[in-house]
Amino acid sequence: EFPPVLNITVSRTSKCITIKWRPLEGQRNVELKVQMKNKSSESWQQYDVNASEAEFKIVELQPGENYFVRLLALNHTHFEEIWKVETHTLPSGRKQNANQVLTSKTSY
């Protein structure tokens, strides 16, 4: 079982979603993946993550679109979802205000 993933923040621009999290303390060589899909899509796009960096940017997205983003960690033999959020990119030309940062303390 994984320790809770805390202090996950999601920041957005019109073409980028950035996810930041607190590193999993005491877990060496933890393998993480980020998956993302457009709300209207059936399939997930998967990205390998350097867990020690505790940050990942998804770029070249469409402005004003809704996306599901989730963080997965390897649990012995398979990847398990440890966090998920629905978010959106900002409309073209709009800047993110401080109150638009999403914070989640959810763990599974």
In which band, very low, low, confident or very high, does the pLDDT at 99 lie, cut at 50, 70 and 90?
Answer: very low
**42 part of a folded domain:** yes
**107 part of a folded domain:** no
CATH number, domain of 71, equals: 2.60.40.10
Three state DSSP letters for 73-108: EEECCEEEEEEEEEEECCCCCCCCCHHHCEEECCCC
Residue 57 domain boundaries:
8-92
pLDDT at 76: 77
**85 part of a folded domain:** yes
**pTM: predicted TM-score of the whole model, two decimal places:** 0.77
**40 part of a folded domain:** yes
What b/e sequence results for 26-54 when a residue is b if at least 16 CB atoms lie within 10 Å of its CB, and e otherwise? eeeeeebbbbbbeeeeeeeeeeebebeeb
**97 part of a folded domain:** no
The domain tally of the chain equals: 1
- In the chain, the percentage of residues whose pLDDT exceeds 90 is 42
**1 part of a folded domain:** no
